[in-house]
Structure 1
Amino acid sequence: MRPFCNGDTPFMNRIIAIVFNFCIVTLVSLHGLSLPAFDRLPVGTHPLALESPHFPSRLHAFIWRNWQLVPPSKMAQLVGTETTNIERIAESMGLPQVDSVSGEMRERGYITLIRRNWHLLPYEQMLELLDMTPDELALTLREDDFLYIKLGNLKPKCEPLRYQEPDEAAVQRAAEIKQVVREHFGDLELVESEPRFRFVKTLSSTEGTTVLPDRNTVNREQPLRMVYSYFGLFGDPLIEPEIEPIPDGLLARLADKGVNGIWMHVVLRQLAPGGEAFPELGAGHEQRIQTLKKLVAQAKRYGIGIYLYINEPRAMPPAFFETRPELAGIRRGDYWTMCTSTPQVRNWMSDSLAHVFGEVPDLGGVFTITASENLTNCASKGQHHLCPHCSTRTDAEIIAEVNATIAEGVHRANPDARVIAWDWGWKGHGDAPDIISLLPKDVALMSVSEWALPIERGGVASKIGEYSMSAVGPGPRATKHWKQAQQAGLKTVAKVAVNNTWEISAVPFLPVMDLVAEHCENLSEVGVDGTMLSWTLGGYPSPNLLVSQSFSTEPGATKETVLNRIAQDRFGDDAAPLVRQAWTAFSDAFRNFPYSGAVMYKAPQQMGPANLLYADPTGYRATMVCFPYDDLNGWRSPYSTDVFASQFEMVADGWAGGIRHLEQAVQATAGVQREAAESDLSVARAAHLHFASVANQARFVLARDAALASSDDSKQKLVEQILQITENEVSLARDMFDVVSEDSRIGYEASNHYFYVPLDLVEKVINCEHVASRFSAQP
């Protein structure tokens, strides 16, 4: 049942829709009725979806954005037409023919499909496109690295999309699009493009690897060097055993780079039975345990341990507490905490972990987050005073007790397994000596190395939070916490980033080797007992990992000796000096990155040239690493608009110098070393195009807003600036199309899947031409 709106303004339409929907929900509730399943999915403020005016219609946009990703027959079925009609419209816009479509995008790239159809389809058609049930999609939105938050905590309002025969104007516009495509890219039929996810096949193969699967155990005495699988699924990675998250080829390559730990996300209620206390929990746990056993055995053969990310206990809906209200803690939204101050909840947690480690005794261990974005224990959001059980307790007592409960369960089954307590979020990311002092002695304390490090970029003084490679740690919070932990008799672990961060995650690694080596050298002087080298991003088996391995295993290692040896081994004696110059240039350029939490999460560096330009302000706010839109004020904090753009220009300009050195290095190599050099050059070029495009986009929004507000002689100069920027963006998109077509790694990150695909760069050119025509036609 859908609302009918006939207000005179968009604002009135929204008000009427909200009131109508409220009445409908109230009506069905009073009469014991139920809404359709898809209407129970979250919608938030439910604003009108953005249009794509560079396409003739929403149908054309839908076909374009799903071309090569979804079978034409599936698209035809969804909009109620014949496949030939979908193919005819695609051909009219210059899209290449599609013989078959791999199922990998549905299996490994479903988040890409969700994101690119978020403004095009209502939920009921999204479910059909994804072959998901409402419950499956709801779980994905909630548990797949809080995807719904990344999507903006709202679902844009879209009417069902139905096929309509294109009218004369649409046919003419499609022909214009085809002409733009031919002018800038030639015939797309003739473009040789590496299929998306080809890197999975490459990295899964053991061809060319040197590490043999001949280990019988995981050496827990070695310093931990742990990453996430480069292409591991995040939400529920153990339920589909046919989708391998860590195949032999990847294990061999990571082991060769010194990795001895891989972590994966799990939800405890899915991995263990709920027992007598919670019999409804644990559905499918047998399958997940079997998959986990297989992965653990497979990784052990390469000397790599599997570690579980434990972020528990997850909050539950009200129905869970109907027969056990005494276990409910605090409420946030539609969910309540399972209060860990109650023995029943703690017993379930420890028993569940004892079950898992008893069934899979070769597991390496766990790491915990006890104050994350997810609602877990009552102190996880600092609101424990609202809980009847926790109100007289301190946050330190509650958080330390949760970690002790987890450690007890793990060590009851396997005393040798590592339990690592991460201080993320404790005291609002402040000092937490009281929590550290209460931790059991059989856990290690992990802290983000660079946290609280003072920096100055563009004259703006600030402090690093996390996910920074542009600033070299450790910072004062980590060093203080490690010292307190060591004094308390605990081992210590540094959470660092050696491959990439949310500063830019759309490339598998950043060749800023000087920065990586400086950080590793500093950590060797501090004396931590292990390192977590990546979050979901950063698990690629790159040469950056060799830096960490060298400082972890070689007493007296220095930046110069380590980098010189890696350069010589990877590229040869002739190319090594040029590569070292390139690494230094990249590192020096990256020191100018305008770091802040807002810039990392909301600016367009994940999308780069694929992010569209908007001739009119969208009114949408940028979301976490997902939709930048045109929200310059959201992108830039705490920097001024000009400083923000200038800093990205400095990064891009300095990066270009590094590329010139790396191009020369490629010419000085041959054979396997040439392949490695060309692979690294592809990554470096992609990063440069992203940085340059962010600066461009910032300048565009500034000029656009000024032009729209101007009515004097200055408007013509602003329009000229806009036309120059759109021309520059066209050039960047064309260059990016070449890079991403040849390299399926570019644009991918494990928890977000593909931020963009090659045809998005073609669309960007169409978009830029349309925006330019809009402004050039203005008086």
Structure 2
Amino acid sequence: MKRLLGLCLIGYFLCMPCLLPAQDRLPLGSHPPALAFDHFPNRLFAFVWRNWNLIGVEKMASLLDCESWQVRDVAQAMGLQEAKPLYASYQKQLYITLLRRNWHLLPYDQLMEVTGMSENEMEFALKEDDFLFHKFGRLKPKVDRLRYSLPSASEWERAAAIYAAVDAHLTGPLPEDPRFSFIDQLAKTESIGPQMDRTDPDKTGLRFIYSYFGVFGDPLLDPESDPFPDGLLQKLAERGVNGVWLHVVLNQLAPEGEIFPEFGDQSDIRLKNLQKIARRAQKYGISIYLYINEPRAMPARFFASRPEMAGISKQGLTTLCTSNEQVRDWISHSLTHVFEQVPELGGVFTITASENLTNCASHGGREACPRCSKRSYADIIAEVNQVIAEGIHRANPDARVIAWDWGWHGHGPALDVIEKLPTDVALMSVSEWGLPIDRGGISTQVSEYSLSAVGPGPRAITHWAAAKMRGLETVAKVQFNNSWELSALPWLPVMDLVARHAANLAGTRLDGYMLSWTLGSYPSPNLEIARKFSQNPNSTVEQVLDELAWERYGRQAVPLIRESWTAFSEAFREFPYHQQVVYLAPQQYGPSNLLYLKPTGYAASMVGFPYDDLGSWSGPYPEEVLVSQFEKVALGWKKGLNLFQQALRIPGGGTQKAQLAEDLILAKAAYLHFLSVAQQGRFILLRKQWRTNPNPFVYRQLRKLLEMEIHSAVELHALAQADSRIGFEASNQYYYLPQDLLEKVINCEYLLGELVKQAEGKLGEHGGAMGQ
């Protein structure tokens, strides 16, 4: 499922006056009681722990209605070290992380204080920023305002126990790569390095990608939030990338006009900044492409003076009906204006049936529109693409217009739409969708981005063939770095899978590739594979991978590296793939996801909160099968790690040895993520037995799993400290921080103590003996 990118601030919407109090305007959902995190002495200690060095002591004190020294006392009691906030330069990259970690701790008014967001900004972010409220489970936990109160003697004692528990598991100070430092590293240009490969898209095909750290909000109005600094552009160009894409909202770029006077506020500033980025990108042989998902639905009040433009309504929004001539004219001429003002743009790609409500057919509800109900689905979808193409080509006949078939007919066959597309657009399809797969004896098919399944699949092949019959160019949407199977790392070393996919596509005579959605945009060795096949489509998988291993790690390391890549790839093919698994299971969070002896009752949410909802994690897989498959992935990945570590012991040094050591960190982190999902699932299965049929065997296994999770958390903490990329993904920001992995240690140590108490009650004298 494609995700809507960014905090796309619709000026009209944000400028509406606040007519309702915050508690009525901000979504609550079912509003259940918040979780209690009993591994902390109380909610105050949990808040200080989770926000230490993120928002500053003074800000915490103000929020808690206390003095700064009182906050410091709480922090120092748990062993937290005084330091300046590490994230001051990147607050706009942190607000989702802050909201997530405080979602169960604070009410809305205090969440706004923590993030510095206004009520309008909070409301809009939850509704429009990549469906954030949906990611948070479509509910706000009920919690009272948090205020400081003097901890009791027993609470100070528990804080001291936290200090001791964490200290016991940390062997010494660790080298720290401050969070977000990867942005500074990627932003630096390199004077010495490989020759820049300025690929000509007319000769080698389009290769376009997103920014690895695309800033949310309104980057075209905030030039300091540059998603494509020179260093990143240089590194992408060196790996064969010749296009990058940005998410925009057309009513922010369109000029003010008589039809929609609400639109266009500060559009001239945005267009000037867009032109600056586009001109700078051209120095590296890269063109800017805009993501067009239009026309955006608007609140019902928008149509009070223009009811003839209103289409269907859903969840408080109403479409600008594209069967209305004035709406089509606005779309077309707005895009003409954009491409006249920024002629350096390379083009656009469109999505006309996304989760975001746009045209009246975008969600399949055209029957409710008096105009669109008389037209076919294909007519409406094709016409929107035609209107967009006409507007762009009026200004720049050479600009590319790529129509993505995402969501057409519910991701099913859409030959009727392709038949009606204008001939001056290209058709893009997700390569791997529709592939039949069997994992753990469960048959399913790919319906979400996948790295473990090698495309192309039947839907893309059929659609590309239909497009070629009509003379349209064809583009493949792929994920070569990562996918929602594990997006918390910049790239996965499953090179055999990437190379086989690239080799398969090289024989299909495609005209280009979209190399990533918002995830998977790092300038990685995986992109080198795509570059090599674009330069020589007749290459073999063995030739490309041998060459890459030699270039990256040195000749002597090639045999071991190739074996390790194969082991990683074979292990990853055991991933229990399904849309529900990739969105709801805790692989994005790994060991940072907390454990509970009593079921929380909370349902897992899309890449937001996995909780302990093993049933939802599993999708179509029986719970035991899901756990077993993650165990297979971890076991096979461990084999690859052992080979990779052997390569590190080959005599020699230099930059290639340093690169091998750096890449080993990411490979180890991936292993710990997969292993932890298996351990967490096994713990929940045993927890069920413990609650219904307690016995010494289950008790010992539960203890062992808690100890294993502590070990995984400590290991990943060391890796995350050393590499600021670990845990980050652009549209979700940091899934976890090193501090969260230490909280998992606290969580598991607390549960070990509670398990002893339960054993004493359930198993009698045996429980006391086993707790020793």
TM-score, structure 2 as length reference: 0.94
Q: What residue is the counterpart of 1:737 in the other structure?
A: 717
The secondary structure found in structure 2 opposite 1:575 is helix
Q: What residue is the counterpart of 1:196 in the other structure?
A: 179
Deviates more, 1:311-320 or 1:740-749: 311-320
**Alignment CA distance shift 1:611-1:33 (3 Å):** closer
**Are the counterparts in 1 of residues 56 and 84 from structure 2 also a CA contact under 8 Å?**
no
Separation (CA, whole Å) in 2 of partners of 1:555 and 1:329 = 47
Note the 1:210-359 alignment, pairs <5 A.
Answer: 210=193, 219-359=201-341
Give the C-alpha shift of residue 105 in structure 1. 4.3
Give the letter for the 1:486 counterpart.
K
**Are the counterparts in 1 of residues 197 and 239 from structure 2 also a CA contact under 8 Å?**
no
RMSD, matched Cα: 1.7
Separation (CA, whole Å) in 2 of partners of 1:212 and 1:659 = 31
Give the letter for the 1:340 counterpart.
T
Note the 1:151-190 alignment, pairs <5 A.
Answer: 151-186=136-171, 190=173
1:393 aligns with 2:378: no
**Are the counterparts in 1 of residues 710 and 748 from structure 2 also a CA contact under 8 Å?**
yes
Q: What residue is the counterpart of 2:115 in the other structure?
A: 130
Give the C-alpha shift of residue 143 in structure 1. 2.5
Q: What residue is the counterpart of 2:442 in the other structure?
A: 460
Q: What residue is the counterpart of 1:772 in the other structure?
A: 752
Q: What residue is the counterpart of 1:546 in the other structure?
A: 528
Give the letter for the 1:571 counterpart.
Y
1:73 aligns with 2:53: no
Q: What residue is the counterpart of 2:189 in the other structure?
A: 206
**Are the counterparts in 1 of residues 196 and 238 from structure 2 also a CA contact under 8 Å?**
no
Deviations 1:204-248 (A, max 9, x none): 111365378998x97555401111111112443322211221111
**Are the counterparts in 2 of residues 57 and 170 from structure 1 also a CA contact under 8 Å?**
yes
Separation (CA, whole Å) in 1 of partners of 2:221 and 2:60 = 28
Q: What residue is the counterpart of 2:471 in the other structure?
A: 489
Separation (CA, whole Å) in 2 of partners of 1:352 and 1:149 = 31
Q: What residue is the counterpart of 1:82 in the other structure?
A: 67
Note the 1:448-527 alignment, pairs <5 A.
Answer: 448-527=430-509
The secondary structure found in structure 2 opposite 1:605 is helix
Give the C-alpha shift of residue 528 in structure 1. 1.1
Unaligned runs of 5+ in 2: 1-16, 762-772
Separation (CA, whole Å) in 1 of partners of 2:582 and 2:399 = 34
Q: What residue is the counterpart of 1:673 in the other structure?
A: 656
* Aligned mate of 2:33, from 26, 29, 48: 48
Q: What residue is the counterpart of 1:18 in the other structure?
A: none
Q: What residue is the counterpart of 1:700 in the other structure?
A: 683
Note the 1:622-661 alignment, pairs <5 A.
Answer: 622-661=604-643
Q: What residue is the counterpart of 2:130 in the other structure?
A: 145
* Aligned mate of 1:607, from 589, 595, 604: 589
Q: What residue is the counterpart of 2:767 in the other structure?
A: none
Give the C-alpha shift of residue 252 in structure 1. 0.8
Note the 1:576-595 alignment, pairs <5 A.
Answer: 576-595=558-577
* Aligned mate of 2:411, from 406, 429, 454: 429
**Are the counterparts in 1 of residues 197 and 240 from structure 2 also a CA contact under 8 Å?**
no
The secondary structure found in structure 1 opposite 2:695 is helix
Separation (CA, whole Å) in 2 of partners of 1:347 and 1:213 = 42
Deviates more, 1:172-181 or 1:264-273: 264-273
Separation (CA, whole Å) in 2 of partners of 1:634 and 1:72 = 38
Separation (CA, whole Å) in 2 of partners of 1:444 and 1:353 = 18
Give the C-alpha shift of residue 328 in structure 1. 1.0
Separation (CA, whole Å) in 2 of partners of 1:531 and 1:483 = 16
Give the C-alpha shift of residue 103 in structure 1. 1.2
The secondary structure found in structure 2 opposite 1:64 is helix
Separation (CA, whole Å) in 2 of partners of 1:87 and 1:416 = 61
* Aligned mate of 2:517, from 506, 528, 535: 535
Separation (CA, whole Å) in 1 of partners of 2:192 and 2:434 = 40
Separation (CA, whole Å) in 2 of partners of 1:117 and 1:104 = 21
1:409 aligns with 2:391: yes
Separation (CA, whole Å) in 2 of partners of 1:221 and 1:349 = 32
**Are the counterparts in 2 of residues 384 and 390 from structure 1 also a CA contact under 8 Å?**
yes
Separation (CA, whole Å) in 1 of partners of 2:377 and 2:465 = 21
Separation (CA, whole Å) in 1 of partners of 2:205 and 2:461 = 18
The secondary structure found in structure 1 opposite 2:373 is coil
**Are the counterparts in 2 of residues 578 and 665 from structure 1 also a CA contact under 8 Å?**
yes
Q: What residue is the counterpart of 1:59 in the other structure?
A: 44
Give the C-alpha shift of residue 628 in structure 1. 0.4
**Are the counterparts in 2 of residues 734 and 761 from structure 1 also a CA contact under 8 Å?**
yes
Number of aligned positions between the proteins: 742
The secondary structure found in structure 1 opposite 2:312 is strand
Separation (CA, whole Å) in 1 of partners of 2:593 and 2:91 = 23
Separation (CA, whole Å) in 2 of partners of 1:208 and 1:606 = 35
**Are the counterparts in 2 of residues 218 and 305 from structure 1 also a CA contact under 8 Å?**
no
Give the C-alpha shift of residue 555 in structure 1. 3.6
Separation (CA, whole Å) in 1 of partners of 2:538 and 2:387 = 39
Give the letter for the 1:131 counterpart.
G
Deviations 1:677-723 (A, max 9, x none): 1121111010000000000010111111221223xxx4332222211
Give the C-alpha shift of residue 34 in structure 1. 4.5
Deviations 1:151-178 (A, max 9, x none): 1112111211111111112111101111
**Are the counterparts in 1 of residues 489 and 727 from structure 2 also a CA contact under 8 Å?**
yes
**Are the counterparts in 2 of residues 520 and 548 from structure 1 also a CA contact under 8 Å?**
yes
The secondary structure found in structure 2 opposite 1:455 is strand
**Are the counterparts in 2 of residues 69 and 105 from structure 1 also a CA contact under 8 Å?**
no
Separation (CA, whole Å) in 1 of partners of 2:231 and 2:210 = 15
Separation (CA, whole Å) in 1 of partners of 2:166 and 2:62 = 27
1:716 aligns with 2:701: no
**Are the counterparts in 2 of residues 213 and 301 from structure 1 also a CA contact under 8 Å?**
no
Deviates more, 1:399-408 or 1:284-293: 284-293
Deviations 1:371-412 (A, max 9, x none): 111111110111101111111111100000111111111111
Separation (CA, whole Å) in 2 of partners of 1:118 and 1:218 = 47
**Are the counterparts in 1 of residues 339 and 345 from structure 2 also a CA contact under 8 Å?**
yes
Give the C-alpha shift of residue 274 in structure 1. 4.2
**Are the counterparts in 1 of residues 244 and 289 from structure 2 also a CA contact under 8 Å?**
yes
Aligned-residue sequence identity (percent) comes to: 55
Give the letter for the 1:727 counterpart.
E
Q: What residue is the counterpart of 1:20 in the other structure?
A: none
Q: What residue is the counterpart of 2:104 in the other structure?
A: 119
Give the C-alpha shift of residue 191 in structure 1. 3.4
Give the letter for the 1:292 counterpart.
L
Give the letter for the 1:127 counterpart.
M
**Are the counterparts in 1 of residues 87 and 180 from structure 2 also a CA contact under 8 Å?**
no
Separation (CA, whole Å) in 2 of partners of 1:655 and 1:100 = 36
**Are the counterparts in 2 of residues 218 and 304 from structure 1 also a CA contact under 8 Å?**
no
1:758 aligns with 2:738: yes
Give the letter for the 1:758 counterpart.
P
Deviations 1:531-565 (A, max 9, x none): 11111111101000011111112141110111111
**Alignment CA distance shift 1:303-1:622 (3 Å):** same
Note the 1:676-695 alignment, pairs <5 A.
Answer: 676-695=659-678
